[in-house]
Amino acid sequence: MSFLQQAFAPIEAIAERVGLDPFVLARLRHPERVLDVHFPLVRDDGTKEILRGYRVQWSSARGPYKGGIRFHPQVDMDEVGALAFLMALKCAVVGIPYGGGKGGVAIHPKQYSDAEQERVIRGYAKAIADGIGPTKDIPAPDVATNPRLMDAFASAYAEVIGHAEPAVVTGKTLAAGGSEGRGRATAQGGFYVLQQVLEARHMDPESRTAVVQGFGNAGQTMAEILFHHGFSITAVSDSKGGIRHQAGLDIPALVAYKETHGSVIGFPGAEPISQEELLATPCGVLVPAALERQITVENAEQIRAQMILELANGPTTAEADVMLAKQGIPVIPDILANSGGVAVSFFEWEQNRVGEHWTAAEVDGRLHALLKEATRDVLATAEELGMTYREAAYAVALRRIGQAMK
């Protein structure tokens, strides 16, 4: 199945179980608007390219479209559409007044200088400017984009409309109107969700071991948070490979090592392992924090985790999800587990709209309260309807989107 088909796979059965109006389901099968743009780029050496970008606006039933912008060579309409649909569900699950959107530019970011990437985001912003706005569609950072690029996006949009409008994009630097806590929000929110689930399941102390796939911003921050709270992180990986240490990795030392060497590979005292070996490492919590479709029918049977926390978007295929359920491995789905990022994006948007700047403690307190309630809603629905956590999260989202449409 395509990624979009994967995202839709559980919908029909869940919609029937929650009594969703068939017309609501029919509307959710299609995006409300699709932007497919081409724009020029002048490279540092003066050569010129035509780049292709996308923005899919899936559902505005609950509010403006919301979703990140990614730079990746595999960006296409199917991927962006699936992520836009999942964003609509995610915003509904966490209870914030947004719909779902997603965007991207098909480039390999490591082949472009920082200056070139800034020109890419500016060109993209101007190409989609007539389709976005603080009450219409609010982008944010995603894979291979960052606060600096969001500042450039806001600057380019201001050039188009003739005045500054910081609420057009979230995930900016603090100096440009960003929110405290945004850089840690995805991982911090994931930890708050995990805490609730571990408490509800009364899991034993042995579950306090973790494996993290993906040592980028979200994965690294999650490893640091788990380490700080007494978890033993026995294996991690980045795009170049993985490492394992059964006694537990020294995460602060590993973070410093990666900053110096650009990868976790070669960390003293750890054995090198493949991504497949990493996923099969026994642990209490497996945290996929890389790209989508990492857990598949080819490797699901090898997973020995007691629980999976999806910090990445769509890391588990629909077929693998069924296999994991049969194996008794609960999966905390992405639309709940990684919703901390969009939650703090909402807080940033609120601050920009009213000209305020909240403290880090205030942002964290709001995030904790929001995700505690969202997790309880999902757990209660799972118990009420006899569903997996993913099915329950979808059920909560579909109910809320259906109510909004009506």
Tens digits of residue pLDDT in 219-231: 999 999 999 999 9
For residue 205, pLDDT beyond 60: no
The percent of residues in the chain predicted with pLDDT above 70, rounded, is: 99
For residue 140, pLDDT beyond 70: yes
Residue 204: what pLDDT?
A: 67
Going by pLDDT thresholds of 50, 70 and 90, the confidence category of residue 217 is confident
Residue 75: what pLDDT?
A: 94
Residue 2: what pLDDT?
A: 85
For residue 195, pLDDT beyond 70: yes
Residue 201: what pLDDT?
A: 87
Active site residue 66: no
Task: Work out the average pLDDT over 284-300.
Answer: 93
CA distance 377 to 396: 7
For the chain, the residue count is 406
CA distance 364 to 189: 9
Going by pLDDT thresholds of 50, 70 and 90, the confidence category of residue 116 is very high
CB 236 within 8 A of CB 264: yes
CB 50 within 8 A of CB 42: no
Residue 122: what pLDDT?
A: 98
CA distance 215 to 374: 26
Residue 125: what pLDDT?
A: 98
| Burial class of residue 74 (count of CB atoms within 10 Å of its CB; 0-12, 13-18, 19+) | middle
Q: Which CATH class is domain 31-176?
A: alpha beta
Interstrand relation of 305-309 and 271-273 (parallel, antiparallel or unpaired): unpaired
Residue 206: what pLDDT?
A: 58
Lowest mean pLDDT among 5-9, 92-96, 246-250, 362-366: 5-9
CA distance 295 to 211: 14
Domain spans of the chain, in order of start: 31-176, 185-337
**pLDDT tens profile 323-359:** 999 999 999 999 999 999 999 999 999 999 999 999 9
pTM, 2 dp: 0.93
What are the structure tokens assigned to 194, written together?
A: 């995990």
**What is the side-by-side order of every strand in the sheet holding 305-309?**
271-273, 241-244, 232-238, 209-213, 283-288, 305-309, 331-332
Architecture of domain 185-337: 3-Layer(aba) Sandwich (3.40)
Q: Which of 90, 102, 172, 258 is catalytic?
A: 102
**pLDDT tens profile 40-59:** 999 999 999 999 999 999 99
- Side chain identity, residue 104: G
Plot region of 248 (φ>0 → left; ψ -120 to 50 → alpha; else → beta): left
Residue with the larger pLDDT of the pair 380 and 292? 380
Task: Work out the average pLDDT over 80-87.
Answer: 93
The angle formed by the CA atoms of residues 306, 338 and 323, to the nearest 5 degrees, is 40
* Count of beta carbons in the 10 Å neighbourhood of residue 133: 15
**pLDDT tens profile 120-132:** 999 999 999 999 9
Q: What is the mean pLDDT of the chain?
A: 95
